Structure 1
Amino acid sequence: MTGPGTTAPRQFAFTTRPYGAVDDATGEPIGLDDVDTRVGWLLDLITAAGAELVSRLWLPATFDVLAAGRDRHDRRLPVQGHAAAARLGWNPIFPDGVYVPSRVTRVVTAQVMATLRTLAYRDAAITALSARFDPATGVVAPPVGSADDVPSGFARGVQRQLVARSRRGGGAPAGRLRITEVQGPPQTSAMARLSAADRQLAQLAVTGDELVLTVKLPTCPTPAGRAQWRRVRLTAAVPAHLHGRAVSDWHLPTLVLDRRGLLWRCAATELVPEADLMDGAAAVGVDWSPSTLGAAAIAAEGPDGLSSDYLGWTYDDRGLGIKLARLQAEGQMLHRKAARLTRLAATAPPEVRARLETKIAVLNDHRTAVGVKRGKINRELAFHFARQVTDYAEAAGAQVIAVEDLTTLETRGHGRVNNNRAAQSARRQAVAALAHTATGVGVTVVSVPARGSSALCPGCDEPLARPGGYHDAWCPRCRVGGNRDHMAGVNLAKRALLGRNKATRRRGQLSAVRVAEHAPVRRCRDKHGPTPSRPRHRRVRRSLPTTTRRLGVNSKQHVPASQASVWDTVKPIPPHGDAGSRDTRTSLSPATSVADSMKST
């Protein structure tokens, strides 16, 4: 049942860190460094057992069983990974003399089964693509039926693998290949998914604004019995942005170790307003742009059909896009340099090879640091973009946000550098952040076809002209035009409104409109969308001084105004020492205090 005021459960993820630990039996406090060491022993046991199990199951028969979804008695496999592994007899092997609780075995098998089930799709795709691969030309023939069709980007990646294998084999015809013949077993991540266990291994309680996790941890690297597994009670704070949220259930976290120590990757279930795709008569279309992360425009449905003011909104990434491009170029440069040194080290003398390997290790560490920094910026950019678009949709009264289908969206025709830069943009992360943020206010996010959204007119569905260059669009027939990204946003919003009756949704995915329908969108001068905020810069020139005159200095001289900057807006300047914003600038010492100090000396 849906309607105004109804709610629906949804899961979300967050991270936190413990700030206190005590022994559950004695109540004695334990240092966080000791907790990190004991968690590291647990992760070592899980990682070693998982790697051994994956290498033992890296066979075509394993993926045949997972593709069929049936056990040896023709029974359907359970959804839970540890239950399916137990039925199939896929159990990890631990070193001799090491005691590991059965619940830890559950964690290992659940993580391994999740990895193998994900790779089962890749195994089927490699089999289909290798059958159509020609080693002489290095080309994969088009699919015969829809069953063998895979995304083009995925197909190109598999094609590169097949070409590399063909070169190593001398160009001999390969025929049908399996994933086990093309690549080796994947590496297992050092983490412990406690959600696969029960209360015998871990339990979570919430008291006020604190999360209390009680978990069994080993007291030595190789525990020999149950006595060397003791319960530890960890306490962490609930993040401030979750205070006051209607959280109905808190789930067991995933434990990982990073450079700062133990990190909890938690999940929770909360109640959010029920969103109905059929409600509402306005939609916001979000177009991914090569120059910025995205732009939006609004289309509304009324008695006279579809209408739009063709005035969109462009996201301002606050300069983070330029920083990401610089970090991307730096990471690629480090990768090329490390690859070149690796080739040189292969034929170098032993003493030279040792020095080169040291340099390669340093380059790899720097490249990893660049990747971590890019990941943090991408996350910040994605959620900031999601909040801006959600606020724009709320102000416009829209109940639907239409985004381009990323599976059919490829960047071409902009040059090698720009294509690569746009391809590595965090669009999928931005879609996930947008879906999360919009669902919290009752707005539905739906994916629509991307083809032709920037090239066709929303009114007559004819190709648009480019009188002002790439970023300009104009339709001489409908007499409408503007920024090409805003025109694309109108097209995307139109497709969402026309195809919402035929939208489909798969578990864990967004609602999708598969067919792009057309209806004329007339230009309307009515007020449908919000007026975008345009912060005005402070006027520095020809302005009166706002500070007192210096004492003991020529009366005609005043304290000079601060230097003009793009960060100087009408918004109040954050206080000194505020590290919560990237836009914070440290203020210079006032000239009056400097003059007074000089006078006192």
Structure 2
Amino acid sequence: MTVAEAGCTVPRQFSYTTRPYAAVDDATGAPIGLDEIDLRVRWLLDLIGAAQSELVSRLWQPATFDTLTAGRDSQGRRLPAQGHVTAARLGWNPSYPTGVYVPSRVTRVVTAQAVGTLRTLAYRDHAISALSARFDPATRRLAPPTAAGDYVPAGFARGVARHLAARSRRAESASHERLRITDVQTPPRTSVMARLAAADKQLSQIAVTDAVMTLTVKLPTYEAPAGRAHWRRVRLTAAIPPHLHTRAITDWHLPTLVLDHRGLLLRCAATEQIPTADLSGGATAVGVDWSPATLGAAAIVTERPDGLVSDYRGFTYDDRGLGIKLARLQAEGQHLHRKAARLTRLAATAPPEVRAELEGKIAVLDAHRAAVGVKRGKINRELAFHFARHIVEYAAAAGAAVIGVEDLTTLETRGHGRVNNNRAAQSARRKAVDALAHTATGAGVTVVSVPARGTSALCPGCNETLSRPGGYHRAWCAKCKVGGNRDHVAGVNLAKRALLGRRAAIRKRGQNPQIRIAEHAPVRQCRDKTSPTPSRPRHRRVRRSVPTATPQAGVNQRRIVPAPRASVWDTVKPAPASHVVTGSREVRTSPTSATSVAGSMSYVDAARRRSSPRRRTSAPRPS
């Protein structure tokens, strides 16, 4: 009996989103409109955002990062993990406009978010300082690290080296200067949100009963509250998503308040109990290779008494055209960024009246670029969970207990050109790994990270370098007589390393198990089909939503009317006509396209004119 079968479970946190559909005043019980709730939440977020930006800008100095890196206060005591407690001990207090009253629990939210941002940038400050100390302005190269603590990822080191080289060229001197993050960049712009989990019950409370979440939060009643009476408690009612009703959830956490184009959004978190992962059980593993052509490809390796076998037939994920759409949005966002940067340089030396006009154009470009970023984030999330669902179904059909993915900390895209390298580097791999780990846990499969070096270049059988007889995407080993798609061969290597190193996996809290040593054992090609055939939805060639013209009885249609163009979105099943949208204010049905209706009617009119007999008309005779 394995550990998972014995009933041992471990807690795991996950996130979800929902929207309130009702609101009442906590004291009087009077209903409050959702538009008013959005306005009051906006006042709260404006107070928090302004105070947080002011505090981060005031603390943007090297002494702040020295204190956070050391982790000690002025008396040598260790700094606590809570951000608001650290800020209170160090005397980092935000400031508000004169005459505005803000409760102390809201101040906790401000300081917790500000300290969290500064702690995240403390690592970057330490890395920039260490790299600038190793940078040689004469050769414009970085010296190798001397201590283990000076190691930083290679991609980050190259980016800092390019910045230091450009700085030395502008200075036109070979002075050796140790830089800090405050010398390299300006204070970051923080996201406008309110993490209610940083406060206690005096600010907000949560209760979940019968798949309904009730959030009690204190909100301002005026844009500039002047006293305690201008803050009142409001009870927000939101529905729990249906896919969480059957989950073994033990704790519901306070959400984060965010405003988007639809209104108030609650970003919630919960803790559930999941079975303990048992890596020693199971004899089949799936390897997932990140591909530059698509998001990923998978292959299967099975452990038998006579060794490791695989049929070398992998599964390539079909992104339904989302990858092309992401590339287009990425190029559009970069174009907007370059255009805004050029207008910013022009506005720096322009006259006052021209500068005002340019600043208006820059604001429009920034808004468009932010909208493109939001759209990319939504597509990345959809792509990640769609990819995770297909890979988990593939692994479950093969009876695999382990899914091996490439370690993203050692993976770097190089050698494919500037455009392809940038496109692959900005793909949703991190989101795909998180979605894969979350989805696989529900199916009883464990996701482990394995070393990525050599998986696409070495033969799974003899561990020798593969040849490329058919180009970049093909791989062949003349010694073992095995080969095929490059990504499928890499998936076989990843699955092999996951099977061989699963008993030596390193576990860290909040991370997937890691295999840091790449062991080798020959993988024999098996003629038996060991991998399942993934189900592929068929594309519907005609959209059911487009109205078709009904031909009249007795009329011959001589001209063939072409069907509407097929789309990659036709693989998605249409939603039923009667459904309930949870948490939305309004359900709007999209009207039928006027262009498609007019086009179909034009075809019918043309057919009628052709089928009807022509009448001969003669000109009237002159009298």
1:317 match: 319
Distance 1:116 1:436, change over 3 A: same
Q: Which residue among 343, 346, 369 is the counterpart of 1:344? A: 346
- Cα distance in 2 between the residues matched to 1:95 and 1:341: 33
Question: Residues 214 and 235 of structure 2 are in contact (CA less than 8 Å); yes or no, is this contact kept in structure 1?
Answer: yes
Higher mean displacement: 348-357 or 439-448: 348-357
2:102 alignment counterpart: 100
Among candidates 272, 291, 313, match of residue 293 of structure 2: 291
The 3 A distance-change label for structure 1 pair 145 and 571 is closer
Residue in 2 that maps onto 1:75: 77
SS of corresponding position for 1:512 = coil
CA distance 1:197–1:535, shift in 2 (3 Å): closer
Cα pair distance change 1:577/1:30, threshold 3 Å: closer
For residue 334 of structure 2, what is the aligned residue in structure 1? 332
Report the Cα offset of residue 147 of structure 1: 2.1
Change (3 A) 1:468 1:103: same
Letter of the 1:3 partner, please give it. Answer: A
* Residue 252 (structure 2) aligns with: 250
Moved more, 479-488 or 67-76: 67-76
CA distance in 2, matches of 1:25, 1:529: 62
- Aligned in 2, Cα 1:55/1:296: closer, same or farther, shift over 3 Å? same
Aligned: 1:422 with 2:424? yes
Compared CA separation, residues 430 and 343, structure 1 to 2 (3 A) = same
**Distance in 1 of aligned mates of 2:532 and 2:512:** 26
Among 188, 195, 207, which residue is 1:193 paired with?
195
CA contact (8 A) 2:388 2:436 kept: yes
Residue 213 of structure 1 deviates from its aligned partner by: 0.6
SS in 2 for 1:115: helix
- 1:169 CA displacement: 4.1
- Paired AA for residue 508 in structure 2: R
- Given that residues 165 and 182 in structure 1 are in contact (C-alpha distance below 8 angstroms), is that contact kept between their aligned partners in structure 2? no
Structure 2 residue corresponding to 1:113, chosen from 112, 115, 118: 115
- Unmatched segments (≥5 aa) in structure 2: 543-548, 582-589, 610-623
For the residues of structure 2 that align with 1:84 and 1:273, how far apart are their CA atoms?
Answer: 36
Supply the AA of the counterpart residue of 2:15.
A
**For the structure 1 residues 594 and 19, does the alpha-carbon distance in structure 2 shift closer, same or farther, using more than 3 Å as the test?**
farther
The residue type paired with residue 250 of structure 2 is S
| Equivalences, count | 587
1:442-457 equivalences under 5 Å are: 442-457=444-459
Distance 1:346 1:268, change over 3 A: same
CA distance in 2, matches of 1:172, 1:456: 43
Correspondence list, 1:363-442, <5 A: 363-442=365-444
Q: Is the 2:320–2:568 Cα contact (8 Å) retained in structure 1?
A: no
Amino acid at match of 1:257: L
Match of 2:274 in 1: 272
Instruction: Map Cα deviations across residues 507-541 of structure 1 (whole Å, 9 max, x no partner).
Output: 2222111121111001123343211224567899x
Amino acid at match of 1:197: A
Equivalent residue number for residue 31 of structure 2: 29
Task: Give the alignment partner of residue 505 of structure 1, picking from 504, 507, 514.
Answer: 507
Equivalent residue for 1:223? 225
Alignment of 1:553 with 2:552, yes or no, is no
Take 1:382 and 1:414, find their aligned partners in 2: how far apart are those partners? 23
CA distance in 2, matches of 1:243, 1:353: 56
Q: CA deviation at 1:24?
A: 0.4
- Verify the 8 A CA contact 1:504 1:512 in the aligned structure 2: yes
Q: Which residue is 1:62 aligned to?
A: 64
Deviates more, 1:109-118 or 1:359-368: 359-368
Change (3 A) 1:466 1:260: same
TM-score by length of 1: 0.90
Aligned-partner Cα distance in 2 for 1:321–1:9: 34
Alignment CA distance shift 1:230-1:172 (3 Å): farther
Letter in 1 for 2:67: V
1:530 is the counterpart of 2:532: yes
Q: State the AA in 1 paired with 2:491.
A: G
What is the match of residue 20 of structure 1? Answer: 22
Match of 1:543 in 2: none
Name which of structure 1's ranges 353-362 and 408-417 shifts more when overlaid on structure 2. 353-362
Stretch moving more, 433-442 or 286-295: 433-442
Please name the residue that 1:485 is paired with.
487
Partners of 2:55 and 2:571 in 1: how far apart?
60
Q: Quick one: which amino acid aligns to residue 430 of structure 1? A: A
Shift in Å, 1:375: 1.3
Other structure's SS at 2:501 match: helix
Matched position secondary structure for 2:409: helix
Aligned partners of 2:212 and 2:348: how far apart in 1?
Answer: 54
In structure 1, the partner of 2:619 is none
Question: Structure 1 CA distance, aligned partners of 2:563 and 2:95?
Answer: 68
Q: 519, 522, 543: which one pairs with 1:520?
A: 522
Q: Work out the CA distance in 1 between the residues paired with 2:572 and 2:32.
A: 46
Structure 2: distance between partners of 1:381 and 1:327: 14
Aligned to 2:47: 45
Cα displacement string for residues 57-115 of structure 1 (whole angstroms, at most 9, x for unaligned residues) = 33333222222223334333222222222233333233343322221121112112211
Q: Give the secondary-structure state (helix, strand or coil) at the position aligned to 1:212.
A: strand
Separation (CA, whole Å) in 2 of partners of 1:350 and 1:95: 30
- Tell me how far 1:347 sits from its aligned partner: 3.2
CA contact (8 A) 1:16 1:264 kept: yes
Mapped contact 2:320–2:569 kept (Cα < 8 A): no
Q: Counterpart in 2 of 1:238?
A: 240
Amino acid at match of 2:517: V
1:3 corresponds in structure 2 to: 4
Instruction: Give the TM-score of the pair, scaled to structure 2.
Output: 0.87
**CA contact 1:405–1:447 (8 Å) conserved in 2:** yes
Deviations 1:403-451 (A, max 9, x none): 1111111111111111111111111111111111111222111111111
> Unaligned regions of 5+ residues in structure 1, if any?
541-546
Matches within 5 A, 1:169-208: 169-208=171-210
Distance 1:558 1:364, change over 3 A: closer
Identity between Structure 1 and Structure 2 (%): 72
Does the aligned pair in 1 maintain the 2:540–2:566 contact within 8 Å?
A: no
